[in-house]
Amino acid sequence: MLPTEFTERLRRILPPESCERVLETFHHPKGTTFRVNPLKCDAERLQKELEASGLHPEPVAWLPGAFRLPAEERRPLTEHEAFYDGRLYIQNLSSMLAPLMLNPRPGERVLDLAAAPGGKTLMMAGMMEDRGWLSAVEPVRERFHKLRRNIETAGARNIHTYMKDGRSVGRAVPESFDRVLLDAPCSSEAKFSTLRPQSFAFWSLRKIKESQKLQKRLILSAWNALRPGGRLLYSTCSFAPEENEAVVDFLLHKKEDARLLPLTLPIDNALPGLNSWEGKDFRDEVSQSRRILPDHEMDGFFLALLEKSSR
């Protein structure tokens, strides 16, 4: 059973017509989705190879190179040669939306400020056609080495890895990047599952507050590392407004050169950001952020795209 306090909060965050459907998703396994690594292979060719192996990949209409599989085919996919040699990467569709909305281009300087295990980093490397400079920062040693292994397996050459606390990056390299992705460490509420009680065993309001404190310092660091005219994509896998809208609102109040951009998502299971929470009002433009509602294959997620004004 999910923590009662969590479900009560969720009922205040989400409209009634959505909340019960969302709560139901915590009791069922998610479908499997993956994307093809364009640095190593062609999507159509890999699809045919997987089909020849008895798998049934179905293209995701709104994201070229992404596929879904029947749940029972996840294990055979993880045992396929294409998985081991880095020609595909298993990743939830919600996570793929973050690089998609940031839209890094070949030749740009890009920063991933909380990069491990590297799924979003590698997706951006593919979008950049392995050109330009992509800095991937991760402070935790074990996670850093997993990031390095995934990058090596994928064959990306434009990624430069740093085992460093992201909170110090903005001071070290101010105004150095065209785009910054901050998929911030969070309470991971969207990963909860009653099939895995350990996924929410350590959840608490205290953890949310601790996460918010870190997120505020990280988003300031990310902003300082961004050049004028550049864009920052902030995301979490939490439902908590303290970790989402409140952090974006914090940045808007701290930085006069920050403006929130409207997000046009290629999906319909998303809601505008909240304009208030627990008696605190946020700036009107915070509603331009998006909270993705989980379904049978997508995790819950939060996305906000900000632009730094040019001088």
Catalytic residue list = 237
Task: For residue 69, give both structure tokens.
Answer: 């599989």
For residue 271, what are the contacts with CB-CB under 8 A and spacing of at least 6? Answer: 14, 15, 18, 290, 291, 293
Task: Classify 153 as helix, strand or coil.
Answer: helix
Cis ω before 117 (30° cut-off from 0): yes
Instruction: Indicate the DSSP class of residue 177.
Output: E
Phi, psi of 260, deg, nearest 5: -90, 135
User: How far apart, in whole angstroms, are the C-alpha atoms of residue 21 and residue 269?
Assistant: 11
Q: Angle CA(197)–CA(94)–CA(153) in degrees, nearest 5?
A: 90
